[in-house]
Amino acid sequence: MLLAIVAYTLVRPRVPAIPTVSYSEVAQALEGHDVTDLLVEDGGLRLVATLRTPRVVGSQRVSTFQTNLPARSISLADLQQWTAAGTRVRVDESSGTPTTELIIQILSLAVVLGVVAYLVARQRGVLTSSRFVATPPSRQLTLADVGGVREARADLGDVIAYLADPERYHALGARCPRGVLLVGPPGTGKTLLARAVAGEAGCPVIVAAGSDFNEMYVGVGSRRVRQLAKRAREQAPCIVFIDEFDSLGGRRGRANRSGEEETTLNQLLVEMDGMEGNEGVVWMAATNREDMLDPAVRRPGRFDRVVEVPLPTVVDRLEILKVHAHGRPLDADVDLERLAQLTVGHSGADLANLLNEAAIVAVQDDCDRIMNAHIEQARDRVLLGRLRSGVVMGQAERRLIAIHEAGHAIVGLVACPDDRLHKVTIEPRGRSLGAAHFAPESDRHVHPRSYLEGVIAKALGGRAAEPVFMGPDAVTTGAGSDLVQATSIARRMVAEFGMSDEIGLISADPAAQGGPPSAQLQGEIDRAVRTLITAQAKRAEAIVRRHRDAVEALAEALLEREILASEDVLEIAAGHGVSRTALAPA
């Protein structure tokens, strides 16, 4: 079409242009009876006059010229007057509507706009369905690629069995769970599990993300849901996995949810309920925010099976490390069991990243095996950030940082005996200029009040040491992130865990309060948080004063060696009377 228009524009016959003159010139010619024919065009906006005797206009000798008129300036009386003077007057009605040229221009513009809109739509996947493609069998995983997550594996066993042999289930009238919701913190292997379930059952898996359905264009989200469901039915038996499900399955009617998002969710519910062709399609979804989901999503027949995928325990961590050690040559000095004990709180993704970083360090060291030293360096990189060799610090500043970190370390050893000291450093790494790094001694599922108070005191230990050694006016900005940590723990203790005597066993959670807590309760919480933090700040300062020599000696050692392993710190601390805790060197 576009080509045809362009071709026409190029080859259309060119009519010689009629010169335009002033109205006075045309009026003069009319009065002098020099006009044989007068054509009124464009609804009275133009007069084209044919002359009895040709005249010179500009440099041209012409027998026709034209002039433009203001709108509605010609009346019937004018036409009669010109006719009476002997001029043949003709009114061209067709010229009042858009000319062919104008139509062509409008059409060309429409076609160009259409092409641009099509390209934009294609780019954003509005028109194409290529975004939901099943993972090819060659890229499928099995449960051997997933470490730990024992309970989740057991829960998913019947889904695998069903997908592998649906007929066996149908024969007894058994129905497979239509939807399985995988719930757990980030990086615990939810996506991996979904792909492994499909791999074990030997069926395709179509992976999508909740955000794939969030589009500003009206109807695109629900259209994509239909496309996804259609693809799944074509591939059945198969798994549809939707990651970040909360952005699609979030609660309807929430203040910040758009009508478009709600329509998309409604479409998903409709597709899951649809009877025809749905057998053999298992919907799996992963979220870290189960509380955000719309209750309708969890109704029986939709995502009615919930599988918890928690952070790995020490046994799980060992299995995950073994999975990721596969294909990576480890030196005999690498003890994965010990590494699993030291990585409390790490997710599967953290562990995979740790071994990958260690492999990178080994390559940089020109080694053909990953050694324990490489894993240690990788741990420092991951936990403390990358070394910033470009930071230049004066002696006074280095001493201040050494005192600050020594304060954290000594207060941590005394107030937080359940945590394992990993190392203390004044090397600038990541965003910090130093760190006293502690990690939980073992997996813990609940924390007593005494432990949380100890963590607050430890966080405030650096700031507590500054005025003791440098005077009250020398305190620095270095404690900013420590205060954030201390305040957020204290606030949760007060407002969530009922650990404040002033507030009592009241939760400030909006779900418990039926909305945001009252201003009065909020004020009381703020006061209780301040009381709690002030008490722990005093405690930290008292520990620093009591163990002043130990803090001083530790700071000196840090200035000398920059980085101290836990056994060195424990030796210095014990040598200056800090009572040894149950800590074992990391």
Q: What is the set of active-site residues?
A: 405
- Pick the binder of ligand ATP from 187, 199, 250, 407 (CB under 6 A): 187
CB-CB contact of 191 with 141 (8 Å): no
286 binds ligand ATP (CB under 6 A): yes
As given in the structure block, the two tokens for residue 74 are 């010609």
Helix, strand and coil in the chain, % to nearest 5? 55, 15, 30
Distance of CA 248 to the CA centre of its chain: 14
Listed ranges 30-38, 186-194, 449-457, 514-522: which one lies at the site for ligand ATP (CB under 6 A): 186-194
Residue identified by tokens 């201003």 is 519
The least distance separating ligand ATP from the CB of residue 310, rounded to whole angstroms, comes to 11
Q: Which residue's CB is nearer to ligand ATP, number 312 or number 461? A: 312
Listed ranges 20-28, 164-172, 185-193, 367-375: which one lies at the site for ligand ATP (CB under 6 A): 185-193
Residue with the shortest CB distance to ligand ATP: 348
Spell out where 70-204 has E strands: 88-91, 179-183
Q: Which residue's CB is nearer to ligand ATP, number 262 or number 319? A: 319
- Pick the binder of ligand ATP from 35, 141, 149, 354 (CB under 6 A): 149
148 binds ligand ATP (CB under 6 A): yes
The amino acid that residue 312 corresponds to is: P
212 binds ligand ATP (CB under 6 A): no
Note the residue count of the chain. Answer: 586
CB-CB contact of 39 with 48 (8 Å): yes
Q: Which residue's CB is nearer to ligand ATP, number 319 or number 405? A: 319
198 binds ligand ATP (CB under 6 A): no
The least distance separating ligand ATP from the CB of residue 149, rounded to whole angstroms, comes to 5
482 binds ligand ATP (CB under 6 A): no
d(CA 187, CA 190): 7
189 binds ligand ATP (CB under 6 A): yes
Q: Which residue's CB is nearer to ligand ATP, number 355 or number 426? A: 355
247 binds ligand ATP (CB under 6 A): no
d(CA 274, CA 283): 13
> For the residues of 268-292, what is the DSSP string, one character each?
HHHHHH--TT-TTEEEEEEES-GGG
Please report how many Cα atoms fall inside a 13 Å half-sphere around the Cα of residue 493, on the Cβ side. Answer: 27
Report the DSSP pairing between strands 238-243 and 281-287: parallel
d(CA 384, CA 162): 46
Q: Which residue's CB is nearer to ligand ATP, number 236 or number 318? A: 318
Q: Which residue's CB is nearer to ligand ATP, number 152 or number 457? A: 152
- Pick the binder of ligand ATP from 140, 188, 341, 343 (CB under 6 A): 188
Report the DSSP pairing between strands 419-425 and 563-565: antiparallel
d(CA 411, CA 65): 100
As given in the structure block, the two tokens for residue 367 are 């080694």
The amino acid that residue 290 corresponds to is: E
CB-CB contact of 438 with 583 (8 Å): no
Q: Which residue's CB is nearer to ligand ATP, number 147 or number 237? A: 147
- Pick the binder of ligand ATP from 40, 132, 134, 147 (CB under 6 A): 147
86 binds ligand ATP (CB under 6 A): no
Listed ranges 141-149, 223-231, 401-409, 543-551: which one lies at the site for ligand ATP (CB under 6 A): 141-149
First-to-final CA distance of the chain: 75
The least distance separating ligand ATP from the CB of residue 336, rounded to whole angstroms, comes to 13
The phi and psi torsions of 162 (rounded to 5 degrees) equal -65, -50
The least distance separating ligand ATP from the CB of residue 190, rounded to whole angstroms, comes to 4
d(CA 137, CA 140): 5
As given in the structure block, the two tokens for residue 42 are 């464009």
The amino acid that residue 52 corresponds to is: R
As given in the structure block, the two tokens for residue 468 are 């003791």
Q: Which residue's CB is nearer to ligand ATP, number 149 or number 528? A: 149
192 binds ligand ATP (CB under 6 A): yes
- CA nearest neighbour of 449 among 509, 507, 500: 500
191 binds ligand ATP (CB under 6 A): yes
Distance of CA 96 to the CA centre of its chain: 57
Q: Which residue's CB is nearer to ligand ATP, number 150 or number 168? A: 150
Listed ranges 81-89, 182-190, 415-423, 443-451: which one lies at the site for ligand ATP (CB under 6 A): 182-190
Listed ranges 145-153, 255-263, 515-523, 538-546: which one lies at the site for ligand ATP (CB under 6 A): 145-153
- Pick the binder of ligand ATP from 157, 186, 202, 577 (CB under 6 A): 186
Residues 297-356 touching ligand ATP, rule: CB under 6 A, are: 320, 323, 348-349, 352
What is each CA distance from 119 to 125, 126, 323, 389, in whole angstroms? 10, 10, 44, 48
The phi and psi torsions of 201 (rounded to 5 degrees) equal -80, -10
As given in the structure block, the two tokens for residue 454 are 């100890």
Binding residues for ligand ATP, how many (CB under 6 A)?
Answer: 19
The least distance separating ligand ATP from the CB of residue 354, rounded to whole angstroms, comes to 11
Q: Which residue's CB is nearer to ligand ATP, number 135 or number 191? A: 191
135 binds ligand ATP (CB under 6 A): no
The least distance separating ligand ATP from the CB of residue 195, rounded to whole angstroms, comes to 8
Residue ranges in contact with ligand ATP by CB under 6 A: 146-149, 186-192, 243, 286, 288, 320, 323, 348-349, 352
